[in-house]
Structure 1
Amino acid sequence: MTATPSDLRADLPVWARIGLLSFGGPAGQIALMHRECVETRGWIDEDRFLHALNFCMLLPGPEAMQLATYIGWLRGGWRGGVLAGGLFVLPGILAIMALSWVYVLAGDVDWIAGAFFGLKAAIIAIVAQALWRIGRKALKGPVALAIAGAAFTALFVFDLPFPLVVLAAAALGYARAPKHRGDLPPPEGRTGGTALVWAALWLVPVAALALTLGPQDGLTQVAVFFSQMAVLTFGGAYAVLAWVAQAAVDTQGWLAPGQMLDGLAMAETTPGPLIMVTQFVGFMAGWQAGGLGLATLAALITTWVTFAPCFLWIFALAPHAERLRHSPALAGALQAVTAAVVGVIANLALLFALHALWPEGAFDPWAAGLTALALIAAFLLKAGPGMLILGAALAGAGLRLAGLA
């Protein structure tokens, strides 16, 4: 697996486009990557995409960013992975930083509401497209349909932990599959040295802060807290938000409950993973401790310790994941996870739609109307994600300026 400068230069605008259009949380981002990498460009086939997605679903941290890194690694080794993962999160980092500055200096981020009101309609349509396309290819047979339905029910109705649902599907698939009796190919590349390099890049700055500033310093506490989060949180942003909110608001006192909701609104209406809300939390922790400069530094530290481990997990473990594609038993486990992931995406999509169409518990007819138009554009007019996002954003801004939404 080798990368050439020409390959990376060709991939750069594609990943930049994906990063700029990656609205709507993991469901929307997975849908966008599927369209761009599988359907439009044919970089990887359907089975390889689902294998990568299943693997990333089992890792701690934001699965969409890790999926981008995995696909980039398949395309061009660690350089391709850094390019893909870095460009996936860069627009969100810049947007959240700018909005955080506005938030503390001007005290009001309502001016962005008009521009982003319509985005949620576009995201619902993009996710619906992805569910239809992935579901048709992944749900082959009654067992897969049953697993997907059970996963959706477990998450939406019974609110079971995400890792438990995925692991249960994997165990079922493993038990049903034939067991491998031959030799597996060696891992694709060396992993030990890669793991050490990325572990050092992640943890050495944290240790340096603790040694120079002390364990009680605000920057050290931010670095340690979010480093722990990177290891202990499975299931992506939706699984971690409740824990982060409780710890940041109640335990640490870094921000008020209303401010936490404001940060979540920023993350939902800007490109990049929803876990970018942690950057706002780190920013507010630094703001409380010492003003704008410290807030900016705390936000950057938070972002680094949140995403650096993602590169570690992918670069150290993806070669083994590719190797295990040749094991029938583990392939069976991941096929079951594929079916469960369809249920997971359906759950995330429904939660997002409920939040968009029933904000604060009241039905919003304008949001529903925009969503209906976006669905028509997506399924009947075959509009791409860029046009859907641009059209919905302009329509939402027009409604807000007219005082209708």
Structure 2
Amino acid sequence: MEKRTYLKEVAALFLRIGATAFGGPAAYIAIMQRETVRNRRWLDEQQFLDFNGVTNLIPGPNATEMALWLGLVRAGWLGYAAAGLLFILPAMLATLALAWVYVAYGSLSQVGWVLYGVKPIVIAIIIQALWDLGRKAVKGWLTAMVGIAVITFYLLGFNEVALLFAGAGIVLLFQGGRQLLKASPSAMLVMPLLKVPLSMLSAGVIPFSQITLFLTMLKIGSVIYGSGYVLLAFFNSEFVIRLGWLTHQQLLDAIAVGQITPGPVASSATFIGYLMGGLPSALLATLAFLLPSFFFVALLSRILPWLRKSWWSAAFLDGVNVASLGLMLGVTWQLGRVGVVDWFIILLTIIALFLVFRSKVNSAWLILGGGLLGITYKLVLG
């Protein structure tokens, strides 16, 4: 009976997060932290930090991987499946609707303004999560300096994965001695993937097939790291240059859909699949893009407890954790520069910060409230 209750709890939470969460992976993870750690106490800050750090080291959309992990922690393997699928579902349905409009009318102009009031709420939620997680992740001067360095180099344009491994390596070096400063096996495996191009030289348009679509999305889902801008590069390499199935404008519209719909970045894959071959191809593309994440999280669930038992792997994980938070803070700064643009948004951000720190109000209500206020402001004052 208790397991069924937990499963229903997981299903309801991740369906709601998937339907209301905007702002990219940093925002989604912040909302998950608020709901599962701060509000519901499913796990503690250290457990959340550990898996957030590890998901940054594996390919795939981090927010989806965090949803899978949290579902597994709360309700076992059924919770794992329910959390992942229901987190994805709202974005997929919204994307299918937008893709139909796009195919029918040729564009998605004047849609992005609906997020005007949501951005400051998202920024406030991320700041609250960073405060909670940062107090656990920063364990002394060393981790504090690593976090500051990661933020600085991220804003200067350095690669996210390289910064994660560098942060982890520095903490490991200082805690364990110079004899441990050797190339990390995992880094040796991952870093070449960042250098290998996903496409060969373009040989003209290749005829569309669902098998090629599935294998291409599976390949991208198996090696993708970083933000939506990184995903743009991967999709461009495959679908515009190598296969010739999309134009640059269609690709930009696909990424835009990922930004204006709730839920994970997989919605861009859904959109591309729909453009290629309607509903069947949309479902196939989404499945292929997300399959690697389901596999990687299932594998990690077996080895993560072991990582905390060894001092050297625990030190490495501490470095990854603080570096991950540094990246989140860097993303928050970038979101703030783009999203906090006038007096109304500044005021809304201040109110949102007060609410997220002083109450346990549901994140969905905050986001919906911000959206309604933003729409009202645009309609009244333009």
Q: TM-score range by the shorter chain?
A: 0.7 to 0.9
Distance between the aligned counterparts of 2:294 and 2:379, measured in 1?
Answer: 42
The Cα shift of 1:381 comes to 6.6
Q: Tell me which residue corresponds to 2:230.
A: 239
Match of 1:378 among 340, 346, 356: 356
Distance between the aligned counterparts of 2:71 and 2:273, measured in 1?
Answer: 28
Aligned-residue CA RMSD (Å):
2.5
Distance between the aligned counterparts of 1:256 and 1:216, measured in 2?
Answer: 15
Q: Tell me which residue corresponds to 2:214.
A: 223
Instruction: Name the stretch that deviates more: 374-383 or 320-329.
Output: 374-383
Paired letter, 1:29:
Y
Distance between the aligned counterparts of 2:65 and 2:302, measured in 1?
Answer: 14
Q: Tell me which residue corresponds to 1:137.
A: 136
Distance between the aligned counterparts of 1:274 and 1:367, measured in 2?
Answer: 25
Distance between the aligned counterparts of 2:349 and 2:102, measured in 1?
Answer: 29
Q: 1:277 to 1:366 in 2, by over 3 A?
A: farther
CA contact (8 A) 1:248 1:255 kept: yes
TM-score, normalization by structure 1: 0.80
Within 5 Å, give how 1:105-144 maps onto structure 2.
105-110=104-109, 112-144=111-143
Instruction: Name the stretch that deviates more: 145-154 or 99-108.
Output: 99-108
Distance between the aligned counterparts of 2:346 and 2:226, measured in 1?
Answer: 29
Match of 2:371 among 381, 384, 393: 393
CA contact (8 A) 1:120 1:356 kept: yes
1:307 aligns with 2:272: no
Paired letter, 2:160:
F
The Cα shift of 1:261 comes to 2.9
CA contact (8 A) 1:114 1:398 kept: no
1:281 aligns with 2:272: yes
Distance between the aligned counterparts of 2:30 and 2:210, measured in 1?
Answer: 36
Distance between the aligned counterparts of 1:170 and 1:73, measured in 2?
Answer: 26
Q: Tell me which residue corresponds to 1:195.
A: none
Identity of aligned residues (%): 32
- Paired residue total: 354
Q: Tell me which residue corresponds to 2:380.
A: 402
The Cα shift of 1:151 comes to 0.9
CA contact (8 A) 1:52 1:71 kept: no
The 4+ residue runs of structure 1 with deviation greater than 6 A are none
Q: Tell me which residue corresponds to 1:96.
A: 95
CA contact (8 A) 1:151 1:165 kept: yes
The Cα shift of 1:138 comes to 1.6
TM-score, normalization by structure 2: 0.85
Q: 1:338 to 1:244 in 2, by over 3 A?
A: same
Distance between the aligned counterparts of 2:249 and 2:337, measured in 1?
Answer: 20
Q: 1:246 to 1:119 in 2, by over 3 A?
A: farther
Match of 2:280 among 297, 320, 331: 297
Q: Cα deviations across residues 144-171 of structure 1 (Å, max 9, x unaligned)?
A: 11111111112111x2221111111222
Instruction: Name the stretch that deviates more: 109-118 or 79-88.
Output: 109-118
Match of 1:341 among 320, 324, 328: 324
Q: Cα deviations across residues 158-194 of structure 1 (Å, max 9, x unaligned)?
A: x222111111122223333459xxxxxxxxxxxxxxx
The SS at the match of 1:354 is helix
User: Where do 5+ consecutive residues of structure 2 fail to align?
Assistant: 178-205
User: Where do 5+ consecutive residues of structure 1 fail to align?
Assistant: 180-214, 287-293, 358-362
The Cα shift of 1:380 comes to 5.8
Distance between the aligned counterparts of 1:243 and 1:304, measured in 2?
Answer: 17
Q: Tell me which residue corresponds to 1:197.
A: none
Distance between the aligned counterparts of 1:263 and 1:333, measured in 2?
Answer: 37
Distance between the aligned counterparts of 1:317 and 1:379, measured in 2?
Answer: 32
Paired letter, 1:46:
E
